[in-house]
Amino acid sequence: MGAEYIVEMRNINKSFYGAKVLHDVNFKVKAGEIRGLLGENGAGKSTMMRILNGIYSKDSGQIFVDGVEKHFSLPKDARDAKISFVHQEIALSGNLTIAQNMFLGLEKTKGKYFVDDASMRESAKASLESLNLNLDVDTLVGTLSVAQQQMVEIAKALMQDAKVLVLDEPTAALSEKEVRFLFRQMRRLKEKNVAVIFISHRLNEIQEITDSLTVLRDGRIIADGVPTQGLGSEEIIAMMVGRNVTQFYGSEKPHGTDEVVFEVKDLTNPVLDHISFQLRKGEILGFGGLVGAKRTELMSAIFGLDEIDSGELFLDGKKIVNKNPKQAIQNGFGLVSEDRKRNGLILVHSIARNLTLNVTSSFIHGIHYDKAKEKSIVDEYGNKLSIKMTGMEQLCQYLSGGNQQKVVIAKWLASNPKVLIMDEPTRGVDVGAKSEIYQLMSKLTSEGISIIMVSSELPELINISSRIAVMHEGKLSKIFEEEELARYGTDDLQKEIMFYATGERE
Amino acid sequence: MGRKNNKIKNLFNGVGGAFIALIVMVVVLCVFTNTFATRLNLVNLLKQITCNCLLSFGLTCCLITGFPDLSVGSHVALATVEVCMYQNLGLSLEVSVLLTLIVGIIIGATNGFIFSRTEMPAYIVTLAMQNVLRGIAYVLTNGGAVIVENDVDRKFFNLANATILNWIPYSTLVLLVAFLIINTLLRRTVFGRHMYAVGGNSSTAIYSGIDVKNIRMIVFTISGFLASIAGVLTASRVYSGQPTTGVGFEGEAIASAVLGGVSFTGGVGTLSGSLIGILIMGVMSNGMNLLQINYYWQLVVKGIIILVAVYMDQVKRSKTK
């Protein structure tokens, strides 16, 4: 004890294959501090944290823990120095119990070979209790919710009496309510004098929970330990991207015309409860709500992926049926799914293959394969969305998240939709690409495409949508019209939306 | 010229290593045996690879679409029995062959129907079918071979054994036609694109409005059809219906495809690649016979070569990342 900083990284340098990823990085955190770590994808956040965790070795520089210099060559070394790491993807085995998971690889033994279950259950229980988690240590992890699993991960990390806890995008898969719970736990840890390093792409979360910020850009520290209080989103974004992003969300919200393009009347199935709404030409209709509000399910039903028990769809005033995705596409719908790796892309295929998947029959007739036409389609949309690629034959698995998302959007644009449904269009996308996607959406509406956007990020929902629909447990609880939106300030609007999303108002 | 070179390069894209291995094997055999590069042996080689070649073409389609068909070995056995028995019932050769192929299509479609509608894993469905087909072949013959009693003008025998100008077996023409059709299907048609898409990520394919069930069903049907052709030609070559033949053929067919760069996880591969894999397997068996290597040891060598080839392919893939 006694050192001013619990962790200090001094002049850390790191290169991969000759490319320098970290330049003289200096990073200091005090005990009992919640530190936000920010930067675009590829800025070097993960590399830096992996060095701190002993997964990567540094080329040069020093690491001090509580004032003592440490040399980490394995994750175990970091663990022994009381630094714990919760990775972005949950690394638990669903078929094992909570206690078994918490001691995976660290099993306590009786004698040399025999597992000491009783003592492990005891310790696991104590660890859960310290987080005020009311869970039975014999529960199978597979039966827990994502948030609960995350808590088990954190309990596991804290079990070794950690002084520093690194959380890498812990909120990516959590609902708003679960995020609240996580934040409460983080504050509790702060009281216990644990330093928490919090990595997130969501600015509102960073602003809410962190005491101070570290911003990385292109492998360099732009700011370290700046107090979060008083910093606006614009300032933070400007630090991250190194340019002034006054127009982060696009110049102006699209307004749309009075013409109704698409109408849903009384749509019902086992998870959807009599949903009706109208979509106007050239607008972005945002869908807000908590995770589990069945927004994705509504989009699946509209797109013909899920069955409909009753209700009608009208396109340009005419009744239509979307029995399956094929029919939906023919009717002029597109669906950018929330999970691009699972439903949006074929990762082992090239950009060209992915981008033209919906329009293959426009350049292949029978056995006549018009390669030039295929290329012109890829060029057109590649340019329109400024997809960064080494060539059209590059495989999608080697693209960054932002570029992958652009390929998915391009694929749907190529099929020339009237109604484009975008489910969490900027999930897992870095700030720069996010802004590009917003601008693209705005441009598309000006070209006459109507967009339905599902978003769990309130700032995005508020700043992008022409109108906002809010869902709660399969019901549409409110539609905010443009005039209403204009009336509220941002904070009030967030509160209003949350009222309807949580079902407190209907 | 440049364009043509490019085309050739594309044809062998990603299977350069396998291609070089094939050349090396051929050169070694030419040097160390004086029987390899003879007309008799090469004709024999072409006849030997016919069955595996057809099965492997089918398996290439299946693997690209994302699943294996393990029933093809037994299917060959049943087809050899069928084509002989139909003739012994007094049907003409043409009708017998036609019937066998129709049954082949039905078997393939049945595999496809069960797989695509129940979504049971394909290897379970086809493993079960493997037993069913083998069982039927035994039931029909009581376990013994079926000899064709009245082969008019040796027409049946000639199917797989006659050659054009003493060099090219007629059965090789079947391979050529099958190659051209399937290669065109894979490279130049919307259906082929959709096969790759289904194998690459079936969920994405569903979101893109592709009828995944239908495609799986048709691809299984293709595999069944090719297996029945393989059975007819095998029956002609050994000049009998053999319910015990075809054991492990599916393994060899899958190995040939994978040697030629077809991915086991779906969505990746070419028919020309598979062809190289087929030739490697064929030349290897042929060569080891010529070098008089014990058959039991041949199996060991084949197994090891498959492991090494797939491993090298994996190393290459992880390097490009």
**A445-483, pLDDT tens digit by residue?**
999 999 999 998 887 888 899 999 999 989 999 999 998
Give the predicted TM-score (pTM) of the model.
0.79
Q: How many beta carbons lie within 10 A of that of residue B266, not counting itself?
A: 22
- Give the pLDDT of residue A299: 96
Rounded-to-integer distance, Cα B239 and Cα B233, Å: 9
Q: Which of A346, A360, A369 sits opposite B204 (nearest CB)?
A: A346
Strand partners, A451: A284, A420
A343 contact residues in B (CB cutoff 8 A): 203-204, 206-207
Average pLDDT value over all residues in chain A: 87
Residue type for position A107: E
Rounded-to-integer distance, Cα A195 and Cα A30, Å: 6
Q: Using the structure block, give the residue that is written with the tokens 């939306």.
A: A497
Domain B37-309 class, CATH top level: mainly alpha
Contacts of A162 (CB under 8 A, 6+ apart): A82, A83, A84, A194
Tokens of B61: 């389609």
Q: How many beta carbons lie within 10 A of that of residue A159, not counting itself?
A: 18
Average pLDDT over residues A258-268: 94
B319 confidence band (pLDDT: 50, 70, 90): low
A332 contact residues in B (CB cutoff 8 A): none
- Give the pLDDT of residue B6: 53
- Give the pLDDT of residue A329: 95
Tokens of B145: 């071979």
How many contacts (CB atoms, under 8 Å) link A and B? 77
Least confident of A345-359, B13-27, B257-271: B13-27
Q: A residues 214-273 near B, CB within 8 Å?
A: none
Contacts of B94 (CB under 8 A, 6+ apart): none
Average pLDDT over residues B39-52: 93
Strand partners, A278: A263
Domains in chain A and their CATH numbers?
7-241 (3.40.50.300)
Q: Which of A326, A357, A366 sits opposite B197 (nearest CB)?
A: A357
Any B CB within 8 A of A358 CB: yes
Any B CB within 8 A of A398 CB: yes
Name, of A164-173, B160-169, B233-242, the range with top average pLDDT: B233-242
Q: Are A22 and A14 in contact (CB under 8 A)?
A: yes
Q: How far is CA A211 from CA A32, A197, A200, A208, A409, in A?
A: 10, 10, 14, 9, 37
Q: Cβ separation of A346 and B207 shorter than 8 Å? A: no
Calculate the dihedral angle through the C-alpha atoms of A383, A386, A391, A393, rounding to the nearest 10 degrees. Answer: -90
Rounded to 10°, the helix B16-32/B271-290 angle is: 20
Q: Where are the beta strands (DSSP E) in chain B?
A: 163-164, 168-169
Q: pLDDT of A113-147, one tens digit each?
A: 788 888 888 888 888 887 777 888 898 888 887 77
Contacts of A110 (CB under 8 A, 6+ apart): A116
Does residue B2 surpass a pLDDT of 50? no
Tokens of A384: 């329109």
Q: Are A223 and A59 in contact (CB under 8 A)?
A: no
Rounded-to-integer distance, Cα A124 and Cα A98, Å: 8
Q: Which of B188, B193, B211 sits opposite A367 (nearest CB)?
A: B188
* Better-predicted residue by pLDDT, A357 or A188: A357
* Better-predicted residue by pLDDT, A84 or A106: A84
Q: Cβ separation of A344 and B210 shorter than 8 Å? A: no
Selected for mutation to probe chain A from B64, B195, B201, B262 (highest A CB count within 10 Å) is B201
Q: Cβ separation of B267 and A324 shorter than 8 Å? A: no
Does residue A244 surpass a pLDDT of 60? no
Q: Cβ separation of B208 and A358 shorter than 8 Å? A: yes
Tokens of A97: 């119990």
The chain A residue lying nearest B180, using CA atoms, is A367
Q: Which of A330, A348, A360 sits opposite B193 (nearest CB)?
A: A360
Angle at CA of residue A284, ends A279 and A288, nearest 5°: 90
Residue type for position A48: M
In this prediction the ipTM stands at 0.83
Q: Cβ separation of B206 and A305 shorter than 8 Å? A: yes
A357 contact residues in B (CB cutoff 8 A): 193, 197, 204-205, 208
Tokens of A128: 């859960």
Per-residue exposure over A392-422, b if at least 16 CB sit within 10 Å of its own CB, e if not: bebbbeebbbbbbbbbbbbbbbbbebbbbbb
Domain locations in chain B as residue ranges = 37-309
Q: Are B235 and B83 in contact (CB under 8 A)?
A: yes
The chain B residue lying nearest A411, using CA atoms, is B208
B14 confidence band (pLDDT: 50, 70, 90): low
Average pLDDT over residues A385-390: 87
- Give the pLDDT of residue A77: 87
Q: Are A33 and A190 in contact (CB under 8 A)?
A: yes
Residue type for position B113: F
